[in-house]
A and B are shown apart, each in its own frame.
Chain A
Amino acid sequence: MDTDKLLKKPIHMAIISFFHENQASIDTPRGIATWIGEDRSKVKAALEDLVKKKILMAHRVASTTGYSYTRDMELISKIEKLLKSYRR
């Protein structure tokens, strides 16, 4: 599974974990970089990867992009299982 592969990358894992724990959050790359303590440009690229995989949603306007978590309950429960297995 692609999500499984993405979770092996530390930044992707950190972003997914952040949104999984804060499912109501909408934040900019700068905000997310702050929450997970990673470099903003790397976070930005990882966010776009996750948008492509439909794990995140992008809310784009001219001045910035806000990212939020998927609403797909099936995907969320898959991620829940994967996160648990990685944390073990």
Chain B
Amino acid sequence: MADMEENKEQTYQAELFDKLRKSMNLKREEDCIGCLIKPALWWMVERPDPKSADIEKLIGVDCPCLKNKKHKNASVCAHTISDSINRAFQTKKLSRFICVDGLHGFVYPITQGDKVYGYIGTCYTKTDVSSDVLDVFSAFTDTVVREAQKELELSKLYETLRPRAIALSTVHTVHRLISSTLDLNELLPRIARLSLQILRANRCSIKLVDAKKKILIPKTTVDLREKKTRLKKVKVGKWAPGKAVKFGRPIRGDNYLATPLIDEDVIGVITIYDKIDNKPFSSFDQEIMSTLAEQAVIAIKNAQLYKEQEKLTMGSIKSLAKVLDTRAPGAYIPRASFVKISIVMGQESRMDADEIKSLEYAAILHDAGEVVVPDEVLTKPTKLTGKEFAMVKEHPAAGVEIIKHMKALKSVLPIILYHHENYDGTGYPKGLKKDQIPLGARIMAVVSAFESMITKRPYRLVRTINEAMEEIKRNSGTQFDPKVVTSFVTVMSKKEIRSMLEKELYGHR
């Protein structure tokens, strides 16, 4: 430990003198002061306690007294400088001397606190140096030395802080990457991959605690060596993941690191295996993984809450749809197929996840407003009168009135309100045309028309799937957006969609 401290001191001393030797300010000072006291020889002694015998070597300048070994007073001269250095060391102040040839010089100690690191000195000056000049020299040198010391401190600080700042930036980036999704199926593999990238490891497994808090359910395993991995359940308390959960702290071995996911309670565990360089996991890895786990917990909890919220919303929508179904008894609507058709059409139209979710809700709720249409109008088998049709035309706005109180369904409202608008502007309620109609509503217009044609309605006969599709195609460009019709035809050509619809409509096929 003492050796380490000593090494650090020596390194600092070497770096400080390196800075001083390169310091332009010090060079300028030597030039300025040199003009006043010339001729002068400048030197630096890079150790606090030089021996007299080493002075010549340490000073390393062409001092005629010291250089000429045959000079009768060379050793006396070295002693004089050495004595002056000792005085400077003791007093931590500038010390003057006169060498045997009557030449003048001085030594200035380079200090920090109580510590002396070395000296700047001059000799071979023919006249005595005035106190004023020495005061200026001391003040200026002190400033230059402090500046060099500050620079060194800053660079040390930079060396210490930079890796931490880079690590912090990594954690921040990971936070952004994992909080950009609320889908657990997407989130957990993403957390696993990012953890592997940061820890430079090969395998990551994420397990979540079951409701009874006894078993860890495997949710995702990523092995970048393309090894086949099995998702295994683990009992709480067993193996590294189970122990990490039981004790609520990381469990580290040479080739594994299990980090608990702690919210108010432990909700799961991230376990990393096998570093790519085969080195053991370190305490730094553990520290980084713990920080990552904190980020992961927030993202996982958010995704779980979102899922719960979504279930709640879907439950409410389904309940509402059930109530609405009782208005038209016998008009069975194969909802799952139409919801699926709407979702796939949304995907075909490159809608984002939120827009597709809105489309899904709208597929169930688009006719919710029919609740305001009297039963006798809704179930009337003959042609509607103008007044009756006016009532029917009220249903999109009525649907919006019913649903607008559910904040989660805000984005569904335009789809419901405009799903009876026609592409050519002849629809209702506002007579919007082309791109004025939201894309979701243009898609819903096709799905809704298709739905009403192939399902049982009191006012007309049921059409076959092919007949209804032909009718949709016939109205492309007038009632319907041609691009949406194309997308609809593509979706309906998918075998699984067609089978699903036929099964719902006609039973087993």
Contact = CB atoms under 8 A, between A and B. Distances in A.
To the question of whether A and B form a pair in one complex, the answer is yes
B180 A26 contact: no
B194 A59 contact: yes
Contacts of A25: 166-167, 169-170
Interface in A1-57: 22-28, 31, 35, 57
B166 A61 contact: no
A31 to B, nearest CB: 5
B173 A63 contact: no
Contact of A71 (B170, B194, B224, B288): B224
B173 A24 contact: no
Given A22-B163, A22-B166, A61-B180, A27 B198 contact: no
B170 A62 contact: no
A27 B181 contact: no
Nearest to A73: B276
Interface string A52-88: 0000010101111010100101000000000000000
B199 interface: yes
B174 A26 contact: yes
Interface string B173-199: 110110011000000001001100111
How extensive is the interface on chain B, given as a class? 20 to 34
B197 A61 contact: no
B180 A66 contact: no
B277 interface: yes
B170 A27 contact: yes
B173 A28 contact: yes
A26 B277 contact: no
A23 B201 CA distance: 12
B393 interface: no
Contacts of A73: 276-277
Contacts of B166: 22, 25, 27, 35
B93 interface: no
A82 B200 CA distance: 22
Nearest to A64: B176
Given A24-B200, A26-B197, A62 B173 contact: no
A31 B198 CA distance: 16
Contacts of B173: 26-28, 31, 64, 66
Nearest to A24: B198
Nearest to B288: A24
Nearest to A57: B197
Contacts of A22: 163, 166
A86 to B, nearest CB: 21
Interface string B58-98: 00000000000000000000000000000000000000000
Contacts of A68: 197-198
Contacts of A23: 200
Contacts of B163: 22
Given A26-B197, A71-B276, A63 B224 contact: no
A62 B176 contact: no
Given A27-B173, A35-B166, A73-B277, A61 B194 contact: no
Given A22-B166, A24-B170, A71-B276, A63 B180 contact: yes
Contacts of B167: 24-25
A66 B199 contact: no
A28 B167 CA distance: 13
B276 A27 contact: no
Contact of B177 (A31, A35, A59, A71): A59
List 9 A-B pairs, minimum CB-CB distance, nearest first.
A61-B180, A66-B173, A68-B197, A31-B169, A24-B198, A26-B170, A26-B173, A25-B170, A66-B177
8 contacts: A24-B288, A25-B166, A27-B166, A31-B173, A35-B166, A59-B177, A62-B180, A64-B176
Interface of B: 163, 166-167, 169-170, 172-174, 176-177, 180-181, 190, 193-194, 197-200, 224, 276-277, 288, 352
Given A26-B197, A68-B197, 14 more contacts: A22-B163, A24-B197, A24-B288, A26-B198, A31-B173, A35-B166, A59-B177, A59-B193, A59-B194, A59-B197, A61-B177, A61-B181, A62-B352, A66-B194
